[in-house]
Amino acid sequence: MEKPFPDQKTFSKSPITHRALARHIKIMILDFLRNCKTYDKNLYTKEYFKRTPCPKCTAIGRFKLWGSYQRHAIYFVDDQLYVERLDIKRVRCLSCKSTHAVMPGDLIPYKLLTFYVVIFVLVSCYLKKVPVLKIEEDTGLSYQLIYLCLNTFLMHKNHIHQYYRARAPADTPASTEPESAIALIKKPYIKFQIGYTESNRRPCFMSRFFYGKGAPPIGIHALRRAAT
């Protein structure tokens, strides 16, 4: 597996300063119609966002294409693990002047591992009882990244349980043990991520700002159909 290297942000155009950019780029938009495998910044047009609300001011369809930047992601393609540097599209809201990164729906903000990789590790460890070193051997994921998945899940497991209790209290067991919490997430897994993001204004397994205040809301592009 290719060794991830430090994230280097390059922007095709931006008239604002680096400090201002760091302040504005915090609010992101997840596009659940695309995943890391199908994502292509060149497919985005102004027309694509005509029904998309700005996650900051809620104005609908008031976006201008605003360059791109690069970030890394680890994801599965046909059961093979890939490390790739993605060109992430950015848009600017013409109403509130905020800029937003438009990311594939399986990408977790501020994380290298994607949603499906995290789910794979959790199902392997908690439900299939596969040892961590065996997962490392089979996938190429380092044991450090695997334990990062497990620790991230332990941070979120009570929130996952609360999400299902609110939606289907009769079908949700009282136990909040890790095995019970991960068993609640059924295929297609992305359906859970969409619902969780709608309810919490942030996707599951996003660890940054978890214990603090001031977390930026995460916007959603469209929900007509989700990429699998």
- pTM, two decimals, is 0.84
Q: What pLDDT is attached to residue 24?
A: 44
Pairing mode of beta strands 99-104, 28-31 = parallel
State the Cα–Cα distance between residues 213 and 225, nearest whole angstrom.
32
Cβ atoms of residues 204 and 196 within 8 Å: yes
Q: What percent of the chain has pLDDT over 70?
A: 83
Domain boundaries along the sequence of the chain: 18-112+216-220, 115-200
More confident position, 1 or 140: 140
Among 53-62, 70-79, 213-222, whose mean pLDDT is lowest? 213-222
Q: What are phi and psi of 73, to 5 degrees?
A: -150, 145
Task: Starting at the earlier edge strand, list the strands of the sheet with 99-104.
Answer: 63-77, 80-93, 99-104, 28-31, 219-220
Q: How confident is the model at residue 223 (pLDDT cuts 50, 70, 90)?
A: low
Mean pLDDT of the region 165-193: 95
More confident position, 21 or 71: 71
Burial 61-88 (b: 16+ CB within 10 A, else e): ebbebbbbbebebbbbeeeebeeeebeb
Q: How confident is the model at residue 26 (pLDDT cuts 50, 70, 90)?
A: low
State the Cα–Cα distance between residues 108 and 110, nearest whole angstrom.
6
| pLDDT of 228 above 70 | no
| pLDDT of 101 above 60 | yes
Four-point Cα dihedral 165, 167, 168, 169, nearest 10: 30
| pLDDT of 21 above 80 | no
